[in-house]
Amino acid sequence: MKVLVTGGLGFIGSHTCVELLEANYEVVIVDNLSNSTIDVIDKIKAITNKTVSFYELDVCDEVELEKVFQKERPEAIIHFAAYKAVGESVEKPILYYENNLISTLKLCKMMQKYHVTKFVFSSSATVYGSPATLPIKEDFPLFTTNPYGTTKLMIEKILKDFVSSQKDISVIILRYFNPIGAHPSGLLGENPKGIPNNLMPYILKVADKELERLHIFGNDYDTKDGTGVRDYIHVVDLAKGHLCALEKTKKEPGIFYYNLGTGCGYSVLDLVKTFERVNGIKIPYQIDHRRPGDVASCYADSTKAYQELGWKAELGIEEMCKDAYHFLLESKR
């Protein structure tokens, strides 16, 4: 089966392409390189010993996108391409709404025109806002606190209407928790440009001595050690979840929602201490004020994904920390 992967050179997209190729899917990547680099294609090829088709284009560009559909005739789509920085989305909401919504609308149009019935969408746990109880289940109320999150929620709603209007379409919405880690080969990982917003990329810059110390945003939360608790999930586990989702699209039309997390909450200090221990390296840090918009704790109930997709996370926080550091060391070689 041929799968079109938008944003296939990004962090989660590239790991998913590897899993797809290893499971003998044909992969067509569309990516505009806005937050990725072209050399990721060679890394994917090196890991899998397989080739991919690549088109450098913006999914919002309907004319160019249609050429890809005409030529490649994909049978399924996994849609990663999106802007994803929460802070930036507050400063540039229109850019976020335009890019994230229009790209999805164009893909829906192409699905209708070229009879593509299988679609997997990258959503986020951010659609749950600040839930009243934990762990988070898929039927919890949906609420967003920033434009990035709102784009994800709006797209979920658009896809719901789209599915209702078509009889054969199967859409799987995957709500990711906190993906970290890297491919065990050390060839693929997350390496954001500039000062990272997210915890693990920041830890890596400190490990690399590019940044002096980590700033921990608050140690006065109602958590075991006062620092924020999140459900960190290894990116390879997350990538595998997309293959299980694709299998589901082959079985049943409709729209289905799944949390992809481990179900375990770890604090910022848990992650820092584990990183230090498994990699034998010190991560200096200081405690700062809380970051506006952060919740104390957030972790998933992923039972539904296990029951209906047969998916569950296998890798623990130690592997996440080891693989992330291994990627850093390999990328320096």
- Please confirm, yes or no, whether 306 is among the known catalytic residues: no
Residue whose CB is less far from ligand UDP, 178 or 274: 178
* 216 part of the interface to ligand UDP, by CB under 6 A: yes
The window from 42-50, 127-135, 192-200, 247-255 that contacts ligand UDP (CB under 6 A) reads 192-200
* 268 part of the interface to ligand UDP, by CB under 6 A: yes
Q: What are the structure tokens assigned to 249, written together?
A: 């699209």
* 208 part of the interface to ligand UDP, by CB under 6 A: no
Q: What are the structure tokens assigned to 71, written together?
A: 């030529």
Could you give the C-alpha distances from 45 to 14, 49, 53, in angstroms and in order? 11, 5, 11
* 199 part of the interface to ligand UDP, by CB under 6 A: yes
First to last CA, the chain: 36
> Closest residue to ligand UDP, Cβ-based?
228
* 198 part of the interface to ligand UDP, by CB under 6 A: yes
Q: How far is the CB of 143 from ligand UDP (least distance, A)?
A: 15
Catalytic residue selected from 148, 258, 266, 325: 148
Binding positions for ligand UDP, 12-31, rule CB under 6 A? none
* 230 part of the interface to ligand UDP, by CB under 6 A: yes
- Provide the mask over 274-303, with x wherever binding to ligand UDP is found by CB under 6 A and - wherever it is not: -----------------x--x---------
CA-closest candidate to residue 238, choices 130, 322, 133, 319: 319
Q: How far apart are CA 35 and CA 140, in angstroms?
A: 32
Q: How far apart are CA 169 and CA 111, in angstroms?
A: 9
Residue whose CB is less far from ligand UDP, 104 or 227: 227
* 215 part of the interface to ligand UDP, by CB under 6 A: yes
Count of Cβ atoms closer than 10 Å to residue 93 Cβ: 15
Q: How far apart are CA 99 and CA 163, in angstroms?
A: 21
CA-closest candidate to residue 156, choices 199, 203, 108, 217: 108
* 4 part of the interface to ligand UDP, by CB under 6 A: no
Fill in the DSSP letter of residue 125: G
Q: How far apart are CA 78 and CA 260, in angstroms?
A: 15
* 197 part of the interface to ligand UDP, by CB under 6 A: yes
Give the H or E element holding residue 288: strand 285-288
Residue whose CB is less far from ligand UDP, 54 or 217: 217
Binding residues (CB under 6 A) for ligand UDP: these are 178, 197-199, 202, 215-217, 228, 230, 268, 291, 294
Residues marked as catalytic: 148
